[in-house]
């Protein structure tokens, strides 16, 4: 399949550019906002271990598969599935997989943008000195008052969606590549500084203990599902983001090596966030299970108390917002690429439509934190439903199908040729993981949750 239509479909300028962009997609709110609070809600150590196991045994093989599918077809996810299905003489229903990805991306972005709006608002709060010398209860009041205001949340959500659309309209490799180049190293440095602060709180080891000592009695079947779902979410898997980024990758680059780098960086950022946050939680008598507000109720305490905290607070929330931006771009890119390449939309019109619909959906999440906070379905708010539906169900199901497609439907000769692994043993290991281990693991977790196992 060498007839790549590179005129309509972009290309990364280098291997490094691709690694940066894919890491930009993977590293985001999932690592810094979501990982700590779901770890807190699910009891710590045991949950973290399950998550790490899922990254290694399910996430990495599927990331290799998803990148491979995209690169082989050099098309958007919907067309990728159509094209590769034909190449393998398989059932045409496989193209629904591309569709599910497009829908999952928009649903995720609808709430992702609201939370990224919180991070953006906190840049301003840090700048105006709101956190200086504030204690835990003052910081909590700031957060509670903020999310109680639909107007403020809508304002920041709108701003964030506009920023996303402005970048997406220019195409993936103009601007995006350059932004990530500086962002990633800066984010690493800041995370290390926060960990250094956490060491001074007096609760550092209590934090580490919570994160890394497993208490298996706290692990419910839903916690296992959340940990697995998060492995997909944090690596941007199961919905076409990594597929579409892979489709912009040139043929001479080793997929498996880049995947290890990307997944490694993603995991390190998440662990650093946890190591920085839990000591602050314990030192201030806060609760690990405070939910989605956790980082907004803890880190500002650190910024308010430490020397240079004013500047660090500003920098941190800028980096968090930009890290979210480089992920949100990848959430909407599959849809935009499909509208442009298949529906003959201009890039502007594609952005306007997909961005507009996502923005509208996001209002559900905004209101779930205030005027509609009493509205519950299956005991969950709109935000929680969207999160559960996408991260715990759609992404693992999408990933499961990708694994089956790459392991069983695609011809071995084709995947071998596309992956070009250094030795046949590597290829064999991947093939076993993708054909048996990863799909079986997803399947068993689902069976467990619905109570069959």
Q: List interacting residues with ligand PHE (CB under 6 A).
A: 25-26, 28-31, 108, 233-234, 236, 239, 241, 327, 330-331
Nearest residue (CB) to ligand PHE, 139 versus 294: 294
Task: Write out 170-218 in H/E/C secondary structure.
Answer: CCCCCCHHHHHHHHHHHHHHHHHHHHHHHHCCCCHHHHHHHHHCCCHHH
- The C-alpha atoms of residue 271 and residue 188 are separated, in whole angstroms, by 11
Query: 122: exposed, middle or buried (C-beta count within 10 Å: 0-12, 13-18, 19+)?
Result: buried
- Characterise 286 by phi-psi region: left (phi > 0), alpha (psi -120 to 50), beta (else): beta
Minimum CB separation of residue 29 from ligand PHE in Å reads: 4
Minimum CB separation of residue 424 from ligand PHE in Å reads: 32
Nearest residue (CB) to ligand PHE, 17 versus 107: 107
Residues 341, 45 contacting (CB under 8 angstroms): no
- The C-alpha atoms of residue 84 and residue 107 are separated, in whole angstroms, by 26
Minimum CB separation of residue 180 from ligand PHE in Å reads: 13
Minimum CB separation of residue 245 from ligand PHE in Å reads: 10
Nearest residue (CB) to ligand PHE, 105 versus 364: 105
- Write the DSSP assignment of 32-58 as a string of letters: IIIHHHHHHHTTSHHHHHHHHHHIIII
Minimum CB separation of residue 28 from ligand PHE in Å reads: 3
For the chain, the farthest-separated pair of C-alpha atoms sits apart, in whole angstroms, at: 66
Minimum CB separation of residue 367 from ligand PHE in Å reads: 22
Nearest residue (CB) to ligand PHE, 31 versus 73: 31
Minimum CB separation of residue 252 from ligand PHE in Å reads: 26
Query: Is residue 426 helix, strand or coil?
Result: helix
* Alpha carbon distance, N-terminus to C-terminus of the chain: 43
Nearest residue (CB) to ligand PHE, 31 versus 381: 31
Upper half-sphere CA count for residue 25 (Cβ side, 13 Å) = 30
Minimum CB separation of residue 52 from ligand PHE in Å reads: 15
Instruction: Name the CA radius of gyration of the chain, rounded.
Output: 21
- The C-alpha atoms of residue 365 and residue 362 are separated, in whole angstroms, by 5
Helices (H), ranges, 221-346: 221-234, 241-247, 255-283, 294-305, 309-342
User: What own/partner pairs with CB < 8 Å and gap ≥ 24 does 124-127 have?
Assistant: 125/300, 126/300, 126/303, 126/310, 126/313, 126/314, 126/316, 126/317, 127/314
Residues 142, 300 contacting (CB under 8 angstroms): yes
Write the DSSP symbol of residue 380.
Answer: B
Minimum CB separation of residue 317 from ligand PHE in Å reads: 15
Nearest residue (CB) to ligand PHE, 69 versus 301: 69
**Residue 377 in tokens:** 């379905």
Nearest residue (CB) to ligand PHE, 35 versus 197: 35
Nearest residue (CB) to ligand PHE, 112 versus 303: 112
Nearest residue (CB) to ligand PHE, 298 versus 330: 330
Nearest residue (CB) to ligand PHE, 167 versus 421: 167
Minimum CB separation of residue 359 from ligand PHE in Å reads: 17
Minimum CB separation of residue 35 from ligand PHE in Å reads: 8
Residue number with the smallest Cβ distance to ligand PHE: 30
Nearest residue (CB) to ligand PHE, 241 versus 256: 241
- The C-alpha atoms of residue 71 and residue 101 are separated, in whole angstroms, by 17
């Amino acid at each position: 399949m060498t007839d790549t239509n590179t005129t309509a479909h972009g290309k990364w300028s280098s291997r490094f550019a691709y690694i940066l962009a894919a890491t930009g997609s993977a590293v985001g709110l999932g690592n810094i906002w979501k990982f700590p609070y779901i770890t807190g809600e699910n009891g710590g150590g045991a949950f973290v271990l399950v998550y790490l196991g899922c990254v290694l045994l399910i996430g990495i093989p599927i990331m290799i598969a998803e990148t491979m599918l995209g690169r082989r077809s050099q098309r958007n996810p919907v067309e990728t599935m159509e094209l590769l299905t034909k190449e393998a003489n398989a059932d045409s229903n496989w193209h629904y997989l591309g569709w599910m990805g497009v829908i999952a991306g928009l649903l995720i972005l609808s709430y992702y943008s609201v939370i990224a709006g919180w991070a953006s608002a906190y840049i301003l709060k840090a700048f105006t000195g709101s956190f200086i010398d504030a204690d835990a209860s003052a910081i909590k009041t700031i957060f509670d008052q903020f999310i109680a205001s639909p107007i403020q949340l809508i304002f920041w959500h709108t701003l964030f969606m506009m920023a996303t659309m402005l970048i997406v309209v220019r195409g993936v490799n103009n601007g995006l590549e350059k932004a990530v180049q500086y962002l990633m190293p800066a984010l690493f440095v800041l995370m290390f500084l926060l960990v250094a602060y956490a060491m001074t709180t007096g609760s550092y080891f209590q934090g580490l203990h919570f994160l890394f000592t497993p208490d298996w009695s706290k692990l419910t079947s839903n916690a296992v599902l959340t940990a697995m779902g998060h492995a997909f979410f944090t690596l941007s898997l199961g919905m076409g983001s990594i597929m579409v980024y892979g489709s912009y990758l040139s043929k001479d680059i080793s997929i498996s090596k880049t995947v290890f780098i990307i997944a490694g960086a993603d995991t390190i950022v998440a662990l650093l966030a946890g190591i920085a946050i839990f000591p602050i939680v314990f030192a201030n008598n806060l609760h690990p299970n405070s939910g989605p507000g956790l980082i907004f109720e803890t880190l500002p305490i650190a910024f308010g108390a430490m020397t240079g905290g004013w500047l660090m607070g500003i920098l941190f929330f800028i980096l968090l917002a930009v890290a979210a931006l480089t992920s949100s771009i990848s959430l909407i890119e599959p849809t935009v690429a499909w509208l442009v390449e298949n529906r003959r939309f201009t890039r502007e019109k594609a952005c306007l439509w997909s961005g507009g619909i996502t923005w509208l959906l996001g209002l559900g999440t905004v209101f779930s934190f205030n005027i509609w906070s009493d509205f519950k379905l299956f005991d969950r708010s709109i935000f929680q439903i969207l999160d559960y539906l996408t991260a715990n169900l759609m992404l693992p199901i999408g990933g499961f199908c990708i694994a089956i497609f790459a392991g069983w439907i695609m011809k071995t000769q084709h995947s071998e040729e596309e992956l070009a692994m250094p030795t046949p043993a590597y290829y064999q290991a991947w093939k076993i993981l993708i054909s048996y281990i990863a799909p079986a693991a997803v399947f068993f977790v689902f069976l467990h949750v619905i109570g069959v196992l």
